[in-house]
Amino acid sequence: MNKEQKIDNWIKMTKYIHYIEMMIERKLKEQYHLSLKEFYVLYEIYKSENKKYKINDLIKVVDLSQSAMSRLIVRMEKTEIAFVYRQECIEDQRAMYIYLTDAGEIETKKALNTYEQLLKQVNLESIRTLTKMEAHD
């Protein structure tokens, strides 16, 4: 495989992944009024022990800046039905935990099912083929 083919394959793969992300985000916004990043935050908290996460750890996992994460958390706290709430960390009062509310947990489960259904529509074989071609070179 020559250099141009590698670049073409990379571009195809990133376009396909971007399309998938847009499709998923559109559906999450329609059904749950969630952005993809908001879903990722809820999902990370949902799968964590005790349904809580330190904000600074969440920033690293979801790949957001401190200010973007703060705005996102405020939005999810101030929705008609709050999905999350904050609480100071007892061990380190400089740190803050984000917890899922009961409504947040229910909404995350529903959104997770939608996410799974959408992923079933994705042609993972196309991505596998592109990555195999790259690996063999």
CATH number of the domain bearing residue 106: 1.10.10.10
38 vs 119: which has the higher pLDDT: 38
What percent of the chain is modeled with pLDDT above 70? 89
CA distance 13 to 18: 9
Contact 41, 83 (CB under 8 A): no
Record the pTM. Answer: 0.83
55 vs 121: which has the higher pLDDT: 55
Domain with 27 in it: 3-135
CA-closest candidate to residue 53, choices 89, 92, 97, 87: 97
DSSP secondary structure code for residue 94 in this structure: T
DSSP, residue by residue, 118-137: HHHTS-HHHHHHHHHHHHT-
Counting Cα atoms < 13 Å in the Cβ hemisphere of 79 gives 18
Counting the structural domains of the chain, the total is 1
